[in-house]
Amino acid sequence: MSSKLVDAWRVQLNLNDRDRLLTTYMDLVAEASDPKLLERAVASFSFVEWFWTQEQSQEELAQLKKTWDRLTATDTSLRVRETLTARARKFVPSDSQNLRELGEGLTTELVQFFLGTHSFPLYFHDSLVEDAFKPDNADLRPLAALPFEECIARVLFSYNHKGKLGDRRNIFDLAEYHCYDLLEKGKIDDVTRILSHLDRLQLIKSSIQHPHAIIYPSLVEFIVKDRKHEILRGINEFVKEVDQSRLVPLSLSEVFCILASPPPTDINLSPLIDYFSRHPKYWTWEETSDTIIAYLDSFDLSQISDSTAVRRFLEQCANTEVPNGYRYGDWYPTSNESRARARDLLAGESSSLSLPLHSTNRARKLNSLSSPPAVAIASTSTHPASPSHSPTHTPPLNDASRPDPLLPHSADSPAAPAQESVEVDAVPSADPHYDNRMTALDHSRPILPSSESTSDPSLDSDSRVVFDQSPALENAHQED
């Protein structure tokens, strides 16, 4: 009789019905009393199989939870638990597009279940659920299936995901704070273990796309420790490839100052210099300009691939005395030392820097061809004024004296280059989160009275003399 019942059951079980097979498997595991049986059965457990064959109904979710509870009971071995963790990792794809597609099929209940399978702090648990179901944040949902430390690492990486990203600041900030707090408590091994789940360069790429300033510079220092220039090289290339609207000037500036200290001598940083010259930020400009000037001092300028970007940056450094009628966002503070060195570079006067010799000669030729300015420029520089700076002084054509690169050329001068149109981010965001984060910056900036700017727009192109390659001046040089 029993054999006939078994035969009948076997006939009724369709081995091609994967849904029914999985249901039977889950039921048998949930009711198993022999831990050794679970040792063998756990190898067939699969989150992926369950997800794609079940409808995630309340009954099926309850069945999954019952099976999970049995596999993680106290009488099961460490091997069983490690197998479950490995299955969870396979469930969470590394590719951001696949992550998003998977996340779109996850319900709130399933995400809650995954979070319940690991030991997550309650504050992190709740924030992940909240942010994961905001618009365009489906890529965060599968991360709930990962162990806590690996989930932290993947959240820190999440701003480097492709596609449109929703508001995920809360969970990102919590992940950053968790690592920072561990560092403050001296738990360096714990932070190292968290960061081991992802490449350090990818983490930094995510940080510079975070919509606000870096709150914990010490955490960035720890991430890039012993690999500063390697990561700087990667970020330099990344700036050329990425949609730059995703980059955040404040975050990138702070990360750059960490990576470029000490300055590299074998990396052409033209892409980064170009970006900073187009997107200067008042709060970080002084430190950023000091860092770039130090780099230019140590790098062979003949190897610079984009002299236009370098020239634009140097002009911003040289021309940043507070203008009359100052308006917030029109001025970026540069230290006196960096301003003086920027002027030297523009004039080709610094023998300590590797400027091509012909740059100085062309600068002097160009100055001799330009007309005197109609109005003198007010300056707060500590250098004494040169007689050649007088608005009534016209140097002879053969005058070899050094030019003041800040004085504007006459509009009808044949040597005056055309004004360059540069998109500049002038005023930081008015977002309240932005203001809160500004208090965490190391260098506070004075807030000056607001009024209309009267700065001369022609100043932007006055100091191009070193970098312009004019055939006419080349001939003039040869004739000398």
Domain ranges of the chain: 12-89
Whether residue 269 contacts residue 301, with contact meaning beta carbons closer than 8 Å, is answered with no
Annotate 31-87 with DSSP letters as a single string: H---HHHHHHHGGG--HHHHHHHS---HHHHHHHHHHHHHHTSTTS-HHHHHHHHHH
As a whole number of angstroms, the distance between CA 299 and CA 231 comes to 18
With a cut of 60, say whether residue 114 has pLDDT above it: yes
More confident site: 65 or 443: 65
pTM over 0.75: no
As a whole number of angstroms, the distance between CA 265 and CA 335 comes to 23
As a whole number of angstroms, the distance between CA 306 and CA 421 comes to 16
Name the range with the highest mean pLDDT among 235-249, 320-334, 413-427: 235-249
Q: What integer pLDDT is reported at residue 68 of this predicted model?
A: 83
Query: What is the dihedral sign for C-alpha 149, 153, 154, 159?
Result: positive
Is the peptide bond preceding residue 262 cis, with omega within 30 degrees of 0? Answer: yes
Q: What integer pLDDT is reported at residue 453 of this predicted model?
A: 39
Residue 60 CB coordination number (10 Å): 18
Q: Report pLDDT digits (tens) over 287-312.
A: 999 999 999 999 988 889 999 999 99
Q: What integer pLDDT is reported at residue 426 of this predicted model?
A: 40
Q: What integer pLDDT is reported at residue 232 of this predicted model?
A: 98
Indicate the SS3 state at residue 167: coil
Q: Which two tokens stand for residue 162?
A: 């492709």
Any idea how long the chain is?
480
Q: Report pLDDT digits (tens) over 222-255.
A: 999 999 999 999 999 999 999 999 999 999 999 9
Q: What is the dihedral of CA 303, 306, 312, 314, to 10 degrees?
A: -10
Average pLDDT, the chain: 74
Give the chain's count of helices (H) and strands (E): 23, 0
